[in-house]
Structures are given as C-alpha cells and as structure tokens.
A and B are shown apart, each in its own frame.
Chain A
Amino acid sequence: MKHLARIGFWLLVLAIGLFSIFPFYYAIVSSFRSGAELFSVAYLPQRLDFSNYAAVFERQPFGRNILNSILVAGSVVAVSLGLGITAAYAFGRIAFRGRSLLLMTILAVSMFPQVAVLSGMFELIRSLGLYNTLPGLILANLMLTLPFTVWVLTTFMRELPKEIEEAAYVDGATPWIVVRRVFLPLMAPAAVTTGLLAFIVSWNEFLFALTFTLTNEQRTVPPAIALMSGSTAYELPWGTIMAASVIVTLPIIALVLVFQRKIVAGLTAGAVKG
C-alpha cells in the first residue's frame, strides 16, 4: 500500500513534469533544425547545429535586448516589492477608514483590457518624454504588476498573527522599523514568490514593449522575438525563433534555481507561534 502510494506519487510528478517541459523540450529540438526539416516531426535532435543560435545574435542586438529585459523586469520588481510591502503593511495590519474601498480601487486598475489603456498610456509616456526609453517601459509595466503585488502581499500580511508587532510597538518601535525588522523577514517567502511572478509578467510583456519603443536597441526580448522574420515577409524563421525562446527562458530557470531556497525556506515555527 505504501509502495503503491509512492509509485502513484512519482507517476504524478512525472506526468506533471512532462506536461510542463515537453513544449520547451520540443523548442530545443526545433532550434537545432532548419528549413524544410521543421515541417516534419522529430523527437530527438539529429545533430547539434548551433547556426540558429548564432543567427539570433548576428542579426540584431539580442544581447542588448536581454539586458534591457533584465533591467526593466528587475526595476519593476524592485519598485513593486518596495511599494507593495509598505502598502501591504498598511492595508493588512492597520485598521483605517476607506481601506476596502482603496483595495478595490487598486484592483480595478487590472480590470481594463490592456489594449484599451494603450492609447492613453502612449500619450502619457510621450508627454513625459519617456517614449523609446526603458524608464517609460518600467512605468507602464508597473500598472500590470503593482496591483497584483499589493494584493498578494496584503493577504499574506493579514494572515500573520496579531501579536507579532504589538510587542515591538510597546517597545516604542516606529511603523517603519516594524515593517523592516519584523515583517520583512517573515514575508520573505511570499515576497520572493510575488517578486518572481512579477518579474515574469514584466519579462513577458509584449504590447507595451512593442508600442513604447521604436529602435532595436531599446527593445526588450518579446518584441525582439516577435519581429524576427525570415528572408521575406511571410516566411517564419521557426528555428531562429525557437533558439531565441530557449535563450530567454534560461535566465528565468537560473533565477528560480537561485531563489529556490527562499521560496521553500518557509517560516521557522517559533517566529509565528500565535
């Protein structure tokens, strides 16, 4: 019985793993192929042909695009988390009038389709003189990540037992110190998770990035990939696109592996006993 449960567990792990990874694996296989080969099915790469990978960097400043994406996503995460944690403390731990209304208002920002705010955002970014710059993109992407960050962190913040900060206050600590010394360590797993999710949202953002940048040097990865073309307008350079996708997915995997410990660190039972 125990063995059966064990086998069942591993089968489940295997099934989920395969479902998650197969398209990515297929992208890797495709990235080694070219021309008419792409129109047939192959489960294993026949040879290691890196010409598609070379082409990705040859034809455009793809390294620069990756750097731009990292800069934009990194800044978006830093700002979102910085603002999100303080705001979440206020929303989650302090009772003040109008807080549910404010929370709903913040949520409402995420209820308009992106295409509907595109024009207004375009005008705004141009009037701020941020068109075709990375700060412009960072500002625009905050609209996608900030409401989400505030809400998730508020929820986690609220779940922590009440006694945690009371004692610190009695000791005369200011709210700022309480946030930094008491909550920041406790919120680490939630903050890392939220930060990671926000990073990916910004990393994958396409419509703003395409509309608010003009030159290849300012573009982030998704529009750079979307703008890849073959020798003519209709041809889709499938191998190159797959190679580019593999390249841009690697930093994310690295990021997850690095923050692994944080995500799983959890809470030392003693700190939260309530």
Chain B
Amino acid sequence: MSRSLASLGFAAGLLVSTGAWAVELSISCSALGKEYEICKQGVDAWAQRTGNTVKIVSTPNSATERLALFQQLLAAGAGDIDVFQIDVVSTGTLAQHLLDLSSKAQGSIGDHLPAMAETSRVGGKLVAVPWFADAGLLYYRQDLLDKYKRPVPQTWADLTETARLIQEGERKEGRGDFWGYVWQGRAYEGLATNALEWVASYNGGTIVDDKGEVTIENPKAAEALKLAAGWVGTITPEGVLNYTEEESRGVFQAGNAVFMRNWPYAWALAQGADSTIKGKVGIAPLPKGGPDGHHAGTLGGQLLAVSKYSKNADAATDLVMYLTGEDEQKRRAVQGSFNPTIVSLYSDSDIAKANPFIGDLVDVFTNAVARPATVTGQNYNKVSTEFFNAVHQVLSKRAEAAQALNRLDRDLKRIKRNGWE
C-alpha cells in the first residue's frame, strides 16, 4: 500500500516536473530568410539550455497584416502562440491580451533606448520588451554630391535645393528618368511615419502629445506638409503617392535618385554585390525643418510580448528575457545587423566592426520620434489612418495643407471624444 502510494507520488512528481519544465512554446518571428535564421538560432540556443522545445510560427511581413492575424487569435483567447513579435505601434492595441512583464523585466528595462522602452509601457504595465530598433534615415549618393560639390543636406530646404540641382544636371546629361528624392507616399502606415518626420522636424509636434491633446493643427505642421507637397512632381516622381519601402528602394538602387528616405535595412541591399550603386551610398539623419528645427526619424522596431492565454507563461517570459538580453542582442547585431535596443551595445567594438555605421545610428535612435501609439492606445490605427489620409490628400493636391489639418484636427477630436481609453 505505502509502496504504491509512494510510486504514485513519484509519478505525480514526475508529471509536475515535466509539466513545469519540458514545455513546448510557439513564438512568432519573421517568416523566412535571414531574419528567420537569426531568430531560430537564438530560440534554439534557449531551448537547448532549458530543455524546452520551441516552434517558430511564420506570420505575414507587413506589420498591419501581422497585427490583424494576432488580433484574430487573441480575440478568440487562443493560446496557440505564446510569444509574439509585435511592432512598436501595436502595444497599445494588443495590451489587453498581453502579460504584464514588470516583475521580470523591471530591472533591465532601463538599459534599453528610452524611446523603445516607452513604447513597451501601456497604462503603467510593461507589456513587452524591446528587441530591435529601426528609424527613418536619409540615404544619399556620395558620388553625385561630390560631382556637384554639394554637402550632405542639413535642412529640408538644403535637400530640396540640392536635389533640384542634381536632378537638372543629370537630366541635361540625358538621364530623363532621374529624380531628386524618393520616399514612401502610399496611403498606409509608412506615409504616417514619413509625414511625422516632416512635421516633427519643424517642431510641429507628434499629432497627439504625451498628455493626449490633439496638436496637429499648427502652422509648423502646415509648413512641413506644404514643403512635401511641393516635391511631388518636381524632385519626386508623382508615382511616390503609391510607393512603399521597396518601390522607393527600386528607384534609388537602380541609380535613378540622389536621395531616399528609408529604414536601415536598405543599407545592406544598396551595398550588396549586385547593386548598381555599391560603394556610392551614404546615410545621414533626416534633415531638420529649418535652422531651429531638429533631426527627426520616426522610431520603428519590434518588441517581444507574452500572450495572456499562454499555458506556459513562465517559460515564455523566460524566453522573452533571454532573446531581448544583452548577449542575444549582440549576437543578432553582429550576425544579422539587427540594431540593438540596449544602449551600451552601441559602443561595443565587435558590433562596430560588423556594422561600421552603427555609431552614427545611436544618435538617430536616441533622437527618434515615437508615433503617438501608446497614448492613443486602441485608437492608434484610427489616428494614423486619419493622419495619412489627410496627408495623402495634401500630397495629391486635392486639399490645401491648412484646410486638411483643420479637418484632421476635427476628426481626431471626434475620435477622442471621451478620452482615448
């Protein structure tokens, strides 16, 4: 009797221990290619160390579609994915379904870029941990600037002038399809990031301020939009109104533009072996609005979060802490050029050797402007959609800047009505 009881107890203990330790987790990170490889290596290392198994679930590339899929899963309370890779602007939207990681991550969150850390906090809870950072950059053609003896532009006015000069010069030499400046003007989230850069660089605010007040209707913002609308059809092809990142990279990398606004990913591709502009490209912070404006790149990047419906929340949290930890971020920076979110890594010599331009980026990241995603919470998508649609109207010359901003202000206040919640 006692023996059978003991063995029963033993069996139960075994069950508990396997239940607690050898668990299977699912993590969503990027679908394929190098990003997948790098993610898999990190995940495998953790799995090996802890004896757990981790499945990687491929999700769509586009942040919008990924968010839609996550919402579908989470709204149904499905625990199929334990760890989510989410965009910096999705925390507010998903916060309700994410586990508060404060107890585990509170100590280390201070090591991350302040702007990134800010995006992981919603309503006093820490719902995610920063994984890698992104920000808008100015790409320029060093060879063409040299040819026309122009410096890297510091203000948008400089950029406009230089772009016009070089475009005219190149066209005179018979390159009819040469343009000055390409960026992302399609009516999607990317236009919101581009336009926020213009507005913020003119000190025109960030659409909605930290306290939740709608601030977009101001003369500085109008000035910024007017400037951008002036580019379309002059130094920027009209087609930019439907460009995403890859379409603009297409024009730039084919050697048909002197300036481009894009994320850091374009660097490795522009310098790739088969690139027509290899060795002729430089990067810089995006220009200032004016002498008293400032350099503003919109903050992008990804965070890791744990689902509230995860059946193995502890192990999942442990995985998140491992992947966002210093060692793993360093490995990812060296092997995959993922920009770390931990500030001290920007002075790391191994990383600097692997990515020579990383030192330039730290300023860009620390000065990056965050989209008002956390303050507007679940309403962020509405705010951003109203914003990029208003900007799109101005760019396609269907509305005057001031008039569009006035309407935008009214619409945003209507969305806010009883606070952002």
Given known A35-B275, A227-B60, contact A233–B250 (CB-CB < 8 A): no
Q: Mark interface residues in A223-264 (1 if CB within 8 Å of B CB, else 0).
A: 000111111111111000000000000000000000000000
**A and B contact pairs by CB, cutoff 8 A, 7 listed:** A37-B274, A131-B78, A214-B57, A227-B59, A229-B31, A232-B34, A236-B246
Our pick among A36, A126, A228 for the contact of B274 (Cβ within 8 Å) is A36
Given known A36-B253, A210-B60, A229-B30, contact A123–B76 (CB-CB < 8 A): yes
Q: For residue B411, which residues in chain A have a CB less than 8 angstroms away from its CB?
A: none
Given known A36-B275, A227-B58, A228-B32, contact A234–B263 (CB-CB < 8 A): yes
The answer to whether B31 touches A227, judged by C-beta atoms less than 8 angstroms apart, is yes
Within 8 A of A (CB), among B269-285: 269, 272-276
Q: For residue A231, which residues in chain B have a CB less than 8 angstroms away from its CB?
A: 33-35, 265, 268
Our pick among B33, B245, B272 for the contact of A237 (Cβ within 8 Å) is B33
Q: For residue B31, which residues in chain A have a CB less than 8 angstroms away from its CB?
A: 227-229
Q: How many A-B residue pairs have CB under 8 A?
A: 93
Q: For residue B58, which residues in chain A have a CB less than 8 angstroms away from its CB?
A: 60, 216, 219, 227
Q: For residue B273, which residues in chain A have a CB less than 8 angstroms away from its CB?
A: 35
Q: For residue A219, which residues in chain B have a CB less than 8 angstroms away from its CB?
A: 58
A114 proximal to B (CB < 8 A): no
The answer to whether B33 touches A59, judged by C-beta atoms less than 8 angstroms apart, is yes
Say what secondary structure dominates the interface of chain A: loop
Q: For residue B251, which residues in chain A have a CB less than 8 angstroms away from its CB?
A: 39
Count of A interface residues, CB-CB < 8 Å: 34
B61 proximal to A (CB < 8 A): yes
A211 proximal to B (CB < 8 A): yes
Q: Mark interface residues in B63-97 (1 if CB within 8 Å of A CB, else 0).
A: 10000010010011010110000000000000000
A132 proximal to B (CB < 8 A): yes
Q: Mark interface residues in A28-60 (1 if CB within 8 Å of B CB, else 0).
A: 000000111111100000000000000000011
The answer to whether B32 touches A229, judged by C-beta atoms less than 8 angstroms apart, is yes
Our pick among B32, B34, B275 for the contact of A227 (Cβ within 8 Å) is B32
Q: With A126-B78, A231-B265, A234-B263 given, can you name 19 additional A-B contacts, CB distance below 8 Å? A: A34-B274, A36-B272, A60-B32, A118-B72, A122-B76, A131-B78, A132-B80, A215-B55, A215-B57, A219-B58, A227-B60, A228-B32, A229-B31, A229-B35, A229-B61, A230-B34, A232-B268, A233-B30, A233-B265
